[in-house]
Amino acid sequence: MAEIKIVTEVAGRVCAIAASTGGDIGAGDDVVFVEAMKMEIPVASPAAGKIKSILVGIDDVVAEGQTIGTLET
């Protein structure tokens, strides 16, 4: 099984987590939401698979390009 990083494209504060570790997810499904510029921006799964880890929590500040989780395909 391949391991793929889930990466955020924006910097901001994690305001919601839509997926859970061990859960199945489809390509393009929302994993977390990042609040930036008073908007909630979804971070989508790059592929279908199973969530191996979520590396952030609610209210964590993330940087652009930061890995927020991993996915097994």
Instruction: pLDDT tens for the chain, 73 residues: list them.
Output: 799 999 999 999 999 999 999 999 999 999 999 999 999 999 999 999 999 999 999 999 999 999 999 999 9
Taking the C-alpha atoms of residue 59 and residue 26, their distance in angstroms, rounded to an integer, is 25
Q: Determine contact, residues 3/52, Cβ cutoff 8 Å.
A: yes
**29 SS3 class:** coil
Q: What is the pLDDT of residue 1?
A: 73
- pTM (predicted TM-score): 0.92
Domain 3-72 has CATH 2.40.50.100: yes
Taking the C-alpha atoms of residue 63 and residue 11, their distance in angstroms, rounded to an integer, is 4
CA nearest neighbour of 67 among 36, 38, 35, 31: 31
